[in-house]
Amino acid sequence: MFELHPTLEKDSIPVTETDGLLIRLINDARFPWLLIVPKVDGATELHDLTDHEYAAVMAMARSLGKVLKHAFDADKINTAAIGNMVPQLHIHVVARTRGDDAWPGPVWGAGTMVPMSDDEAARRIGLVRSALG
């Protein structure tokens, strides 16, 4: 029985759910930052997924990268599966802009998350949902 890890639940907002994947928005005003969480109980590594599950995750990672790049006029997309702190498998897709709060370093471990206003969260979610179609 799959349950979202409480840290991911706390740090992010649901965007959509499709093909066995939860898509969530990290609640951080500093960066447009999405998570893909495959609903696979116990998965921690990409190689824990079946071929079908892996293909779904990777197709979504690429789509979300393209969506974020255009919707947020990003200079670079950062895509990563890290999971040193939260073992439940989750894939980050982050829109980066030259001069953003962590540039050119990675966002993971960079400073403190800055919660978004409800309006900004709704705006970001709307952009992603409409781009995904």
**Which residues make up the interface to its own copies (CB under 8 A)?**
44-47, 54, 58, 61-63, 65-66, 69, 76-85, 87, 96, 103-106, 108-109
Question: Please, what is the minimum distance in Å from the beta carbon of residue 84 to its own copies?
Answer: 4
DSSP, res 47: G
How far the first Cα of the chain sits from its last, in Å, is 29
Q: Which is nearer to its own copies, 12 or 78 (CB)?
A: 78
CB atoms within 10 A of CB 61: 20
Q: Which is nearer to its own copies, 68 or 116 (CB)?
A: 68
State the Cα torsion 90-77-64-5 to the nearest 10°: 20
Q: Which is nearer to its own copies, 82 or 122 (CB)?
A: 82
Question: Please, what is the minimum distance in Å from the beta carbon of residue 119 to its own copies?
Answer: 29
Question: Please, what is the minimum distance in Å from the beta carbon of residue 96 to its own copies?
Answer: 6
Q: Residues 91, 79: contact at Cβ < 8 Å?
A: yes
